[in-house]
């Protein structure tokens, strides 16, 4: 992956992380930096999944790829929020 691709993945990941957090109902007791990190990882994984499934070669916006990324981010935010919240309660 070229440097431009990595930078764009980070920028898209930040947006994907925020969208993933918005999709999950309720309050998530995790820091924003962790949400953004989840978004970057979800963006990279979502792109890999879309490419592997042959869904990333479309003209225009790749809506299916974005949907995969947001779903991955939402699942990860929910999982991390559940783990992070339990860890903080049991001092």
Euclidean distance between CA atoms 16 and 90, whole angstroms: 30
Q: Which two tokens stand for residue 32?
A: 């924003």
Residue-wise pLDDT for 16-37, tens only, equals 888 888 888 877 788 888 888 8
Q: b/e for 57-90, b at 16 or more Cβ within 10 A?
A: eeeeebeebbebbbebbbebbbebbeebeeeeee
70 vs 12, 16, 20, 59, 79, CA distance in Å? 11, 6, 5, 20, 14
User: Cβ(20)–Cβ(73) under 8 Å?
Assistant: yes
The predicted structure's pLDDT at residue 47:
84
Residue-wise pLDDT for 39-90, tens only, equals 888 888 988 898 888 876 777 778 888 888 888 888 888 888 888 766 655 5
């Amino acid at each position: 992956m070229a440097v431009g691709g990595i930078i764009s993945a980070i920028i898209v990941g930040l947006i994907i992380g925020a969208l993933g957090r918005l999709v999950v109902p309720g309050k998530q007791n995790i820091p924003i930096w962790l949400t953004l990190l989840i978004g970057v990882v979800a963006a990279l994984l979502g792109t890999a999944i879309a490419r592997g499934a042959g869904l990333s070669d479309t003209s225009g916006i790749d809506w299916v790829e974005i949907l995969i990324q947001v779903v991955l981010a939402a699942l990860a935010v929910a999982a991390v929020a559940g783990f992070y919240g339990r860890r903080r309660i049991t001092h």
